[in-house]
Amino acid sequence: MIALTGAGGFLGWHTRVAARAGGIDTRAIALGDGYRFADASSAVSGADTVIHLAGVNRGSDETIETGNAIFADQLIRALDAAAESPDAVVYADSTQAGNGSVYGTAKAAAAEALSAWCDRNGATFFDVHLPNIYGEHGRPFYNSVTATFCHQLAAGDEPRIDVDRELTVLHAQDAADLLIATETHDLDAVSDTLTVSGLLERLRSMAEVYRRGEIPDVSEALDRKLFNTYRSFTVDSHLPIAHTRHEDARGAFVELIRTHGGTGQSSHSTTAPGITRGEHFHRRKVERFTVIEGRARISLRRVLTDETMEFDVDGDRPVSIDMPTMWAHNITNTGDSTLHTVFWTDDIFDPGNPDTFPESVKP
């Protein structure tokens, strides 16, 4: 079991989704104005690992300095009072720690305080220095430049680069895996380095291709992560994806998908009336549903939230629904005849690593 601060934030949501996929229970520890000493000590008691995500990175120098110190102190007081202490404390530190800035100094000071507590209490301390974090459902103009660019491109705006520089970026699901794993924290293996202009060019190219209902080249891991991030900003505006039906005396023809590179796998299923398929989510896979005969309802829910979407689709008017990552989804035959559906994914199914996690759309 994991207890974590900052559970309601961007990285907190991603970490809880990753834990859910791994079958790990989580508890939230409220800090700051919502801090309740008894609740916090109860949350950390019995946890195998405590992950400290909460931090202050906006505001005056005093706000940043005192805010991070208060969060660390509140957590330490809760740890001291816990009936059963955790075996490990994992700190979501920053690559800016110790760089002389107010934020870097504040993060380093919090790390020292948590490390000292672990030394006193026989717990293992993991100080994980995270670079620029990006991922699905980031907050534009706040969480990352990637979130800002994705938001602007999805809205049809033209992003502007004020200063071009080199960035080291890390997808939030990879960050979550690093924080949850207490045996290895190999940041170099999952982070990427590129310039701000290079990031924008990749995203702009993806947006242009996806606007046509096509799938960009996602053969590189970084491109798939960026594409899934971009797609999260288009869920409300881009779905469903309409197709053109060509019909003559011979019959009908509909083009379902165009991909611009990488692997892929297509499959066809039949579903009896009233039956529901799916009820799961994916962390990384790109997946498209297209009904080619019959009627169906495709339902989605963002994991760990009540945010839902529904699409009623008909094979006579073919459309595609791309499943956003970390959204539970299903498809139900709402007609009176057999439902025929074509499924496409960007990866070839691996039974040893299916990237498919049971989750009901109706919690």
Which pLDDT does position 187 carry in this prediction?
A: 86
The H or E element containing residue 310 is: strand 308-314
329 by Cβ neighbours in 10 Å (0-12 / 13-18 / 19+) ranks as: buried
Q: Which CATH superfamily is domain 240-358 in?
A: Jelly Rolls (2.60.120.10)
- Amino acid at residue number 363: P
User: What are the boundaries of each domain within the chain?
Assistant: 2-203, 240-358
From the first residue on, what is the mean pLDDT of each consecutive set of 10 residues in the chain (363 residues)?
A: 97 98 98 96 97 94 95 98 96 92 95 98 96 97 96 97 96 96 78 98 98 97 98 96 91 92 95 98 98 98 98 96 98 98 96 96 91
pTM beyond cutoff 0.75: yes
**pLDDT at site 185:** 65
**Count, residues in the chain:** 363
Backbone angles phi, psi at 154, to 5 degrees: -65, -30
> Cα separation of 26 and 13, whole Å?
11
- Pair 7, 29: CB distance under 8 Å: yes
Nearest to 230 by CA among 140, 321, 309: 140
All residues at 6 or more sequence positions from 1 whose CB lies less than 8 Å from its CB, including other chains? 24, 25, 26, 27, 46, 47, 48
Q: What is the pLDDT of residue 184?
A: 65
DSSP state of 360: -
Residues 259 and 339: beta-carbon distance below 8 Å? no
Note the CATH number of domain 2-203. 3.40.50.720
* Other Cβ atoms closer than 10 A to 44: 25
Dihedral over Cα of 176, 351, 213, 208: its sign: positive
